[in-house]
Chains A and B, each alone.
Chain A
Amino acid sequence: MSQVSTVRRAGRKSPVRPAGRRTAARRTATRTGQYAALLAYLAFLAFPFLWLVSTAFKPPRELGSIHPTWIPGAPTLDNFRQAFTQQPLLTAAGNSLLAAAVSAVIAIVLATPMAYVLARHRGRLARAATGWVVISQAFPLVLVIIPLFLILKNFHLVDSRAGLVMVYAVWSLPFALWMLTGYVRAVPPEVEEAAAVDGAGRIRTLVSVTAPLLAPGIVATGLFAFITAWNEFFFALVLLKSPEKQTLPVVLTHFIGTEGVADLGPLAAAALLATLPSLLLFAVIQRRITGGMLAGAVKS
C-alpha cells in the first residue's frame, strides 16, 4: 500500500518540487485525518452503550445528581437486584429463550431442504422465492399482523407461546433461506457427484456429505434466527397479553414511562442484561453473518 502511494506521488508532474518530504508530510496528514475520523466514529458508536453500562452501576444518589459522571463514584449491583423485584425478568427471559430457541430450530429444519433446492436448481421456484424474500421486506407489519391476529385467534393461539413461536419461525424463514442458499452454493456439487459415483443414494449423499459441510452455516443461521426472535418486539406486543407469557422486550417497556430518576438504574440494568445474550451470540457469528450476506450478494 505505502509503496503504491510513493509511486503515485513520485509520478506526479511537478519537476521542480522536492518530492520526498512534502509527500511524506501529506501522507501523515491523511493518516492523521483518517485516525481522527475513525476515533469520532468509535465515540459515536460506543458512547450510548457505555452510558447504559455506567447508569446500570450507579447508586440512586448519583443518578439524581445534577452533574452525572461517566464513571460511577460508588458502583453498586443494587440496580440489578431491584430490576428483578420490580418486574418478572426471569419469567420473561424464560419466555424469550423458549420462543427464540424453538422458533430458530423450526426455521432451520424447514429452511435447509428448501435452501438446498434453491441453490442447486435455479428455476422459476428460485426466482419466486427470492422475489418473496424481497417483497416480504417491503410490506409494513401492520398489514400482516391484523390478519395473523385474526387467524391465530380462530385457533385460540392468541396470547399463547405456541402461536408466537409459529409466527417467529415463519418470520425468520426468508432470511434463513437467503443465508442458507448462499452456504449451499459454497459447497461444490462435485463433492456430491463423487459420492453419487461411489454409489451413495440421494438422501444418503445429503445427510452424510452435504450436511456436515453445511453445519457451520446452519449453526450461524440458527443463531441469527435466535437473536432476531430474542430481540423481536412488535409481534410479541400484539400477540401476548398475559404478563406471565410476555417476552423480555415487552416486559422492558413496562419500566418506561413512569420512571423517576431513581428508577433509571434498574431500567438500565434490565436493558443491559437483556442485551448480553444477543451481543455474545452476535460476536460468535459476526464473521459468518457478514460472509453469508456477501455470498447472497455475490450471486445476484
Chain B
Amino acid sequence: MTLATAPRRSAAPGRTPAPRRDHATWFLVLPALIPILVLSVGPLLYGIGLAFTDAQSGRTRATGFVGALNFTDLLHDTLFWDSFRIGLVWALGVTVPQFFLALGLALLLNVNLRLRWLARALAIVPWAMPEVVVGIMWRLVYHPDAGILNETLRDLGLSGTGDGRDWLSGLATALPAVIVVGVWAGMPQTTVSLLAGLQNVPKELHEAAAMDGAGAWRRFRTVTWPALKPVALAITALNFIWNFNSFALVFVLTDGGPGGRTRLPMLFAYEEAFRYGQFGYAAAMGLAMVAVISILLAVYLAGRLKGDDDR
C-alpha cells in the first residue's frame, strides 16, 4: 500500500497542477487504449449488436434489425441445444478431473521429491504446444491401427470387446476421448496456479497442526485448503469458461463428429458463421453462450463463497 501511494505523495509537494499529470498519464495510456477500444471493445459491442440483425456474408441487401428473432429461432433450434449440452458435458468433464489431477500434482511438486524438476518441466510442455499439435499428437495416440493406445490395451489383454477400436469415431467413445485430451492440455495452467496458491499456505500453521497430532488429511482440510481456496475458485471458474469456449482442440481431433457427438457450441457457431454465412444468427449463439455461462458461474461462485461463511 505504501508503495502505491508513494509516487502520488512525491508529486504533491511540488504542487504539480493536476492536469499536467493527467496529460502525461494519457500519453502513456492511449497507445494501448485506442487499439483495445477499436479492435477489442468495439468489435465486442458490434458483435452483440449483430445478434439482433439478419447479417449474412456476401449479401448485397442492407443488413436489417430483426429484434429478438434470432433468439426465438435459437430457442427452437434443437441442434444448437444438443451442441450446448455437449459443451456443458465437455466443460465439466474437463474442468473437474483437471482440477483434482492438478491439485494432486501441485501438492506433490510442493514436496521435496527427487525428479521434481523433471515433473515441473514436463508439466509445462502441454502449455507450450500449439493446440493444433496437441490435437494431431493425440490423433496419433488414438489411431486405430498405428496408435499406441490400442497397442497397449492389446499388450495388457484388455482389448477384449473390439480390437482396433477407433476411439475418435466411435459414437460412445468420441466425447470421453476428447475430454481426456482436454484434461491433458489444461493441466499446466491449473497446476502452476495451484502451486502458486500453495505458497500462501502458512508453514508455521502446518507445523503447529502437525504437533497437535493432526493427520495429513486434517491438515489439508484445516490449513492448506482455506489458504488455497481463492486460487482454486478462480482457476476452476476460468477453466470452465475457457473449456466451454474452446475450439481448436476438438476441431482437429474430430471436427465435431461423429454425428455431432463432439460438436462444441463454438464449432457449431463457427460453421454457422463461416460455412453458412449466417453472421447474425451465429452472433446470437455467442451471446446465448455468454449469458448461460455467466449465470452458471454466478451460481457457482455465490454458492462457494456462501459455503465459506457457513463453516
Contacts and interface: CB of A to CB of B under 8 A. Distances in A.
B143 interface: yes
A38 B32 contact: no
B148 A70 contact: yes
A51 interface: yes
A279 B125 contact: yes
A34 to B, nearest CB: 6
Interface in A221-277: 227, 230-234, 238, 248-249, 252-253, 255-256, 261, 264, 267-268, 271-272, 274-275
Given A41-B119, A48-B137, A143-B287, A294 B44 contact: no
Given A114-B29, A146-B47, A169 B35 contact: yes
B269 A34 contact: no
Contacts of B94: none
A261 B122 contact: no
Interface residues of B, number: 104
Interface string A271-300: 110110011011100100010011001000
A188 interface: yes
Contacts of A267: 136, 140
B100 to A, nearest CB: 12
A17 interface: no
Given A45-B125, A136-B40, A231-B130, A141 B266 contact: yes
A84 interface: no
A37 B133 contact: no
Given A44-B184, A256-B139, A268-B136, A147 B47 contact: yes
Contacts of B80: none
A173 interface: yes
A275 to B, nearest CB: 5
Contact of A142 (B28, B133, B134, B285): B285
Contact of B111 (A34, A110, A171, A282): A34
Contact of B283 (A120, A142, A151): A142
A110 B145 CA distance: 50
Interface in B184-204: 184, 187, 192-193, 195-197, 199
A79 interface: no
Interface in B163-217: 184, 187, 192-193, 195-197, 199, 207, 210-211, 213
A275 B127 contact: no
A114 B279 contact: no
Identify the interface centre among B33, B40, B138: most chain A CB within 10 Å of its CB.
B40
Given A173-B36, A294-B199, A264 B146 contact: yes
B295 interface: no
B286 interface: yes
Contacts of B48: 143
A68 B133 contact: no
B50 A146 contact: yes
Which label, helix, strand, loop or mixed, suits the secondary structure of the A interface? helix
Q: What bracket does the count of chain A residues touching chain B fall in?
A: 35 or more
A204 interface: no
B52 interface: no
B307 interface: no
B24 interface: yes
Contacts of B238: 137
Contacts of A48: 134, 137-138, 140-141, 184
B130 A230 contact: yes
Nearest to A291: B196
B282 A142 contact: yes
Given A8-B211, A196-B10, A231 B131 contact: yes
Nearest to A14: B213
A243 B253 CA distance: 22
Interface in A91-143: 109-111, 113-114, 116-117, 120-122, 125, 132, 136-143
A297 B247 contact: no
A89 interface: no
A283 B158 CA distance: 38
Interface in B219-261: 231, 238, 241-242, 244-245, 247-248, 251-252
Interface string A8-44: 1001110000000000000000000011011101101
6 residue pairs, one from A and one from B, having the closest CB atoms: A143-B286, A282-B128, A231-B130, A113-B28, A147-B46, A114-B32
Given A113-B32, A146-B47, A188-B3, 17 more contacts: A8-B213, A11-B211, A34-B113, A38-B119, A41-B119, A48-B138, A48-B140, A64-B146, A113-B31, A122-B4, A142-B273, A151-B43, A169-B35, A189-B7, A193-B10, A279-B125, A297-B197
29 contacts: A44-B184, A45-B123, A48-B138, A52-B140, A68-B145, A68-B146, A117-B25, A139-B290, A140-B290, A141-B245, A144-B40, A146-B50, A146-B282, A150-B46, A170-B35, A173-B36, A177-B32, A189-B6, A189-B10, A190-B6, A193-B7, A202-B24, A231-B130, A232-B130, A234-B248, A271-B133, A274-B130, A290-B192, A290-B195
Interface of A: 1, 4-5, 7-8, 11-13, 34-35, 37-39, 41-42, 44-49, 51-52, 55, 63-68, 70, 109-111, 113-114, 116-117, 120-122, 125, 132, 136-148, 150-151, 166-167, 169-171, 173-174, 177, 185, 188-190, 192-193, 196, 202, 227, 230-234, 238, 248-249, 252-253, 255-256, 261, 264, 267-268, 271-272, 274-275, 278-279, 281-283, 286, 290, 293-294, 297
